[in-house]
A and B are shown apart, each in its own frame.
Chain A
């Protein structure tokens, strides 16, 4: 019976079948691709923006796709073993997490594979970018795989900040590029190369795109995230941070090279960064302690080489690029997988602790398999790595040996030394005095499959040139062609006669062996060199994070919570913007105080004056009640202006709302202890003159700004409307309503109104729940607590009005009379609202105010007892239900949602003159119900709690 640990292995094998099938499919495309075909596939994504999710496959994409699927399959199989802890073990705790976590890993790896395939097969820059970001995110998840480890989280965040930041730059660069080229399609961008290079935006584009590619491919000075990313599980490091993802930047630059390359800028930027990266990685790798760190730096070095080759831009360099990419992926993938096996068996990756793993009793098979990729990494014949170095040297030495050539030879020598170090320091015989507490042993054969296949391929494909039409030769040729933009002659023979590259290669090998011989001495020395300390770039990264944090704190501090500060900022900002854009000029040749000869103009001036004066009185008034009444007067002034427009409907609503507002204010204020209001008043009186001046200045500034805005808007407004005539002509024929404003509200913009009454209903119920909650929580007022408790006998509260006073019988009588009257008025409003002033809203508020009067006269408990139908929640809900029914019903007759439909006509009902039973009538009723519910709830709540 297989245990769950075995299952993990089976899953690895099973899941690898997908990538293997994909690999086979890609491999089958090779003949067609190398014959010059290009596979294309497009999907309309956002056609309105001209966006297409398109995919294209050419030589370059194929090379990467084969690496992604091939190495991906091997990594999946490998991971099955990697995540299986073995049983005979000394420190079981230090192990990678077991099976359930392993599945998380499979999910990430498969997701990554998808994203990476997307990057290399994308046919347009947007698709490319989307997948590109996907790889950054999955990389983050994988680096933080052991998320309980603080180091892993730090490494993951660093990787995400750096590559994500580069991603933002890349997006900007790609959008500019697409803009200049006039298309997002890569093929079209290639065709516009001359235009792009001539554009003034060219340096910006190159800079931004290079930022994206450099951060992704760990180029100096953004390289330092990669060593930290080594906290990912080793299969992920092998796959993402060596073989595939970090090459995405290389891929991108190679892909865009025909469009952007060939200029001084391109050459300087890429070769410069690549050269520094190459040497930096080669030197720093030499004195690392951790196996994976050595591999990470040697990867950085190789990425630098590849970047440099793209910058070089000759056909020979593109050939070297293709060969180098392939060679590096094969040997570095294998080396990483070996590091994982060593870690798994020996429980350490620190070079000083390892040694003697190649001995007979320990891991001889692992040692034997490591030899091939290590030799390939060292660049020794007859492995593919040798060809990689050979083609590289050929490209560099094409014309003459430059300082760059010397650097490349040195880097080659250092890489050889690193390979020797990795192989010898891990596996060779230990020194006599070394303590050996490890009990390593060879793993199962399946675990070794990945490195064995990759190492074997490093050897096999080096003999590709012996075949008449070698598949590797044609793959490299078509990849180089895509990057170069023209045909590239490729000859991958291992021995091509005694020439400059071969001699340089020999020099590199000799120097490399020399370095390898003295590596221990060198390591000690290099570790002390100031320039190579990892601190400085990390400090820059930390400073960046600090800056972000400080910015956040500054933003928090600006949010002082003081409305004065906010308003001051706002109006200062408005004022500055107005001045900046010079949006306002004082109008000339205008008689400012001209009052046009229109009827009732003087009355208008008077009502405006009333509104302002009353508002002013609400500022000055000593008593709060006076201020509230003044406010009500101001609102009535506004209603007068509206009535003079002339617009009786809206004026009616304004009057009604004004009354309701005043009522609510009085009720709310009445609940506050008089002493509290008194104190507030006294505090205000004691304000210093400075505070008064400041408030006055802010308010005055706001007023000035508002005046500029209004006057500009009013004096320049068009005197004919485009929209209004449509409503005027269509309201009667389409909706049957003579009242155009009403028709707009309940028919043309019915959906808005539906949302409006929802808001109104929500406001009512929110006030109710809010105050109820508060009363329950801080029920500090004795009287209210008693009032709230259900046990209190209702009779004690009957006939008590607001504040516990008993109003006169006259008021009570009036209240009793007004309510039924108000209901009649409301009903009339609704029936004839579509042809005359008045609507459902007014009707609702009228009834609600009548209920408010009842409240005033009898107190809320008695009101509820007298009006059993008054259930605000149900009223709001039923209003909503009616809207829904009224607007959905017409759909039964094939009409659209919210269409006007006259049920009266349809049912052939005998209705009184000018009345109709249309959908809008239902709507009015619904509005009325909701408003009665909500408004009476507001009144009730405020008088109750």
Chain B
């Protein structure tokens, strides 16, 4: 299972990077979400226990590892906030330059 999940994370990551490299700003933005999904999956996968029951105090059986889950919970929220902000910025840039082509936006440096 480690192999399959690694393959999946790597594929998601590669897809995200590929999206990020595109000239179309909208698709670029999608890349960010895919990358953060890949990272969250990775955090989930490194949990020490292969749990069969949810991580509740009264649960009986092998509980899933609560620590990475708590980390993911925070990561999901933060990346969502960050993504929304990035999107707003991209939106303004697109409006300002009247194009969704990243390569056409050259005046942002300096």
Contacts and interface: CB of A to CB of B under 8 A. Distances in A.
A596 B50 contact: yes
Nearest to B96: A778
Interface residues on A, range: 35 or more
A498 interface: no
Interface string B10-49: 1111111111111111111110011001101110111111
B61 to A, nearest CB: 10
Interface residues on B, range: 35 or more
Contact of B13 (A702, A756, A941): A702
Contacts of A599: 52
Given A563-B102, A714-B6, A756-B74, A647 B37 contact: no
Contacts of A677: 24, 26, 100
A727 B66 contact: yes
Looking at A615, A737, A762, which has the most chain B CB atoms within 10 Å of its CB?
Answer: A615
A717 interface: yes
A739 interface: yes
Nearest to A722: B48
A641 B46 CA distance: 13
A646 interface: yes
Interface in B50-67: 50-58, 63-67
B30 A696 contact: no
A618 B19 contact: yes
A766 interface: yes
Contacts of A594: 1, 3
A592 B3 CA distance: 6
B99 A741 contact: no
Contacts of A647: 51, 54-55, 64, 69
B100 A680 contact: yes
Contacts of B106: 561
A351 interface: no
A592 B82 CA distance: 36
Given A721-B65, A741-B55, A713 B46 contact: yes
Contacts of A763: 81-82, 84-85
Given A647-B64, A668-B87, A676 B81 contact: no
B14 to A, nearest CB: 3
A752 interface: yes
A696 B18 contact: yes
Main SS of chain A's interface residues?
helix
Given A631-B30, A638-B41, A646-B64, A717 B100 contact: no
B66 to A, nearest CB: 4
Interface in A634-684: 634-635, 638, 641-642, 645-650, 653-654, 657, 660-661, 664-665, 668-669, 671-672, 676-677, 679-681, 683-684
Given A710-B6, A941-B88, A703 B17 contact: yes
A431 to B, nearest CB: 62
Contact of A707 (B7, B27, B28, B48): B7
Contacts of A661: 33, 80, 83-84
B91 A771 contact: yes
A741 B70 contact: yes
Interface of B: 1-30, 33-34, 37-38, 40-42, 44-58, 63-67, 69-70, 72-74, 76-78, 80-85, 87-89, 91-92, 94-96, 98-102, 106, 108-109
20 contacts: A611-B37, A618-B30, A631-B30, A641-B41, A647-B55, A654-B76, A668-B87, A672-B100, A684-B22, A695-B18, A706-B10, A710-B9, A720-B48, A721-B65, A724-B49, A724-B66, A728-B63, A740-B57, A749-B74, A756-B77
Interface of A: 559, 561, 563-564, 567, 571, 590, 592-596, 598-599, 601, 604-605, 608-609, 611-612, 615-616, 618-619, 624, 627-628, 631, 634-635, 638, 641-642, 645-650, 653-654, 657, 660-661, 664-665, 668-669, 671-672, 676-677, 679-681, 683-684, 687, 695-696, 698-700, 702-704, 706-707, 710-711, 713-715, 717-721, 723-724, 727-728, 731-732, 737-741, 744-745, 749, 752-753, 756, 759-760, 762-764, 766-767, 770-771, 774, 778, 780, 835, 837, 841, 934, 938, 941-942
